[in-house]
Structure 1
Amino acid sequence: MNERVELQATLPPEAAGKRLDQVLSEVFADYSRSRIQQWIRAGEVRLDGAVCALPRQRLAGGERVEIAAELPPAGPVEPQAIPLAILYEDAALLVINKPPGLVVHPAAGNPDRTLQNALLHHDPTLAHLPRAGIVHRLDKDTSGLMVVARTLPAHHALVAQLQARSVTREYLALVQGVLAAGGTVEANIGRHPVDRKRMAVRRTGGKPAVTHYRVERRFRAHTLLRVRLETGRTHQIRVHMAHIRHPIVGDPVYGGRMKLPAGAGETAREAIQGFRRQALHAERLVLQHPDTGEPCAWQTPMPEDMQRLIEALEADREAS
């Protein structure tokens, strides 16, 4: 089935004078500018209730935009026998512990061997649901908990909970630098103005994003944080932590230059320099069961590579 897209937003005053396609690609950052342009030309975008068909149309700022469109059908996603770490399963949902390195669904550069392929092998009936029941994502190299719907009513209910921000998602993130206390980052996120493969904090445009964090453990030059998402933007934790100058260890996109504790021993140096992915793990998930309404919670420990990194930093702290 084709995936139906229905989007609404009020454009910021700062959009005045800018092109329609440019602003919409910032506001709806999950969709490329070329996709936005296709929707505009097809008459699937309305400004203040009127259809507009020119991507280059200049904006006044403050307009109400509505998009009702269908994503074109992608090629068939084939079932593939990929091991799944299933923490919970019933008729309505699955809870998966995603390992680092597993892409969630096929995209350019990753046509198969994804979580979606694995889910279709585990339960072929998921082919009748959008993206095989996947309602939220984790980056390829982020590990941890994901919930997957098994029925259309469960899919609708879980999406509604995510939109209402009633799902609790807590992460463990190892960041560079020593933080004195926890805090909140509230900063809009949109596509990077130059590098369209990256996200960035945007003063104008983008989508509202809120990240709460508190200190779990401090090391000599790093901090283990417990992070709670209030919103779920692409790369949100990674972008927000880099924004406050405490990027996640190992992040190849937003991490910057690797920092080592002064006088670190060989074990600690090798552990830090050898960690080639973002040290980010979705540890805890809390939601209402889509059928019963009962609160449900799951928790899963960090994967071995991240645990070894933490142990090396602990040993370095104790040896100093």
Structure 2
Amino acid sequence: MSETIYLNGTIPEQAAGRRLDQVLAELFSRYSRSRLQQWTKQGHVLLDGKPATVRQRVLGGEAVEVRAELQEEGAVEAENIELDIVYQDEQVMVINKPAGLVVHPAAGNRAGTLQNALLYLDPALATVPRAGIVHRLDKDTSGLMVVARTLEAHTSLVGQLQARSVGREYLALVHTVLTAGGTVDAPIGRHPKDRLRMAVVESGKPAVSHYRVLERFTAHTLVQVRLETGRTHQIRVHMAHIHCPLVGDPVYGGRLRIPRGASERLREALQHFRRQALHARRLAFVHPQSGETVSWEVEPPEDFAVLLDVVRAKS
């Protein structure tokens, strides 16, 4: 299924000299700039009746028309998967994602994802990019995510993420005892030798993580991490980069670390915690409709909470 989109307007006189894609994003703010660029490249945007180009400079006063088909997201099947919905309204939905749930379908993993679940919960999300998912959490990271339920909300939230104004705070249990918090400002890109991993590399994209100490234990530290950017595996890579890998991280944590003198209970707890100890505890953003800042906070799931109790008991 698809929806026919027809838009028309006039380029403002004061926009003279600017790029067409920039002006279109302001004229038709319901749609993202990237989507409008795509429609322009496909010949669906006319300027004074003639096909336009993305980087074309406008004169001001031109008539602009957009005729396009808004296609549903294809090849992703709706599935009845239970979700923990923290909040929802007509514009957004806030989900408390459990560890173990993949966010997007991928090769060899087309079913059982958050996107499949969202399409079952709200079929209208089929016309929103990626069923409204604007940011992601790793499969084995738990916690809060926001989903855009309309194109307007999607455009707003993507813009906030790009402007680094979405508040995201995480709880992480790391190896080693930190004496103080700090900031990791180090670019992240693909590992030069292992393409399945990320790493701090000079050619990577800018990445900034702020961390502060919440609790110190005998051999571990519970930290709060606040993200400025949202690179793949950012917290896991940054904490490993400063030699404080996350407990249970199978990719960046190295071999299993059992502290000297650990009790049998602590030893077993560490051996059986087989995911990174990372939880997205707090999420804040400007609501696309009301313009007010909204926020939510959820405590970590049972497995994380039990691990913390065992670590505390030893300390």
TM-score bracket relative to the smaller structure: 0.7 to 0.9
Cα 1:283–1:150 shift into 2, 3 Å: same
Summarize the alignment of residues 201-280 of structure 1 with structure 2, pairs less than 5 Å apart.
201-203=200-202, 205-280=203-278
Counterpart amino acid of residue 152 in structure 2:
P
Q: Note the residue ranges of structure 2 that are not aligned, 5 or more in a row.
A: 3-54, 56-71
Instruction: Classify the secondary structure of the residue corresponding to 1:284.
Output: strand
Q: By how many angstroms is 1:98 displaced? A: 0.1
In the alignment, the residues of structure 1 paired with residue 108 and residue 158 of structure 2 have an alpha-carbon distance, to the nearest angstrom, of: 27
Contact persistence 1:80–1:121 (CA under 8 A): yes
For residues 74 and 230 of structure 1, the distance between their equivalents in structure 2, rounded to whole angstroms, comes to 29
Q: 1:262 deviation in Å?
A: 1.7
What do residues 256-308 of structure 1 show as CA deviations (whole Å, max 9, x unaligned)? 12222221111111001110000000000011001111010100000000000
CA offset digits 1:19-77 (Å, max 9, x no partner): xxxxxxxxxxxxxxxxxxxxxxxxxxxxxx9xxxxxxxxxxxxxxxxxxxxxxx98511
Match of 1:26 in 2: none
Secondary structure in 1 matching 2:157: helix
Structure 1 residue 157, shift from structure 2 partner: 0.2
* AA of the residue aligned to 2:75: P
Alignment RMSD (CA, Å): 1.6
Normalising by structure 1, we get a TM-score of 0.76
Match of 1:166 in 2: 165
Q: Look up the SS of the partner of 1:103 in the other structure.
A: coil
1:1-320 matches, within 5 Å, as 76-203=75-202, 205-317=203-315
Secondary structure of the 2:211 match is strand
CA–CA distance in structure 2, aligned partners of residues 283 and 257 of structure 1? 27
Preserved CA contact (<8 Å) 2:143 2:280: yes
Q: Is the 8 A contact 1:221 1:260 kept in 2?
A: no
| In structure 2, distance between residues paired with 1:198 and 1:262 | 30
The alpha carbon displacement at 1:160 in A equals 0.3
Contact 1:191 1:206 (C-alpha < 8 Å) held by counterparts = yes
Q: AA paired with 1:128?
A: T
Which structure would you say has the larger Rg?
2
- Counterpart amino acid of residue 270 in structure 1: E
Does the 8 Å contact 2:78/2:117 carry over to 1? yes
**Does the 8 A contact of 2:173 with 2:247 survive in 1?**
yes
CA distance in 2, matches of 1:302, 1:75: 34
Letter matched to residue 144 of structure 1: G
- In the superposition, the TM-score normalised over structure 2's length comes to 0.77
| Corresponding residue for residue 36 of structure 1 | none
Q: Quick one: distance in 1 between partners of 2:91 and 2:118? A: 14
Check whether the contact 2:73–2:127 (CA below 8 A) recurs between aligned residues.
no
- State the secondary structure of the residue aligned to 2:78: coil
Percent identity, aligned pairs only? 67
Q: 2: CA distance between counterparts of 1:215 and 1:282?
A: 16
Q: Which moved more, 1:143-152 or 1:262-271?
A: 262-271
Distance of 1:211 and 1:147 partners within structure 2: 20
> Structure 1 CA distance, aligned partners of 2:108 and 2:172?
27
Local SS of the residue matching 1:253: coil
Q: How many angstroms apart in 1 are the aligned matches of 2:126 and 2:73? A: 13
Matched to 2:259, the amino acid is P
1:237 deviates by 0.2
Residue 108 of structure 1 and its aligned partner are, at CA, apart by 1.7
- 1:104/1:137 contact within 8 Å kept: yes
Letter in 2 for 1:217: E
* Shift >6 Å, 4+ stretches: none
2: distance between equivalents of 1:273 and 1:109? 28
**Which residue identity does 1:145 align to in structure 2?**
L
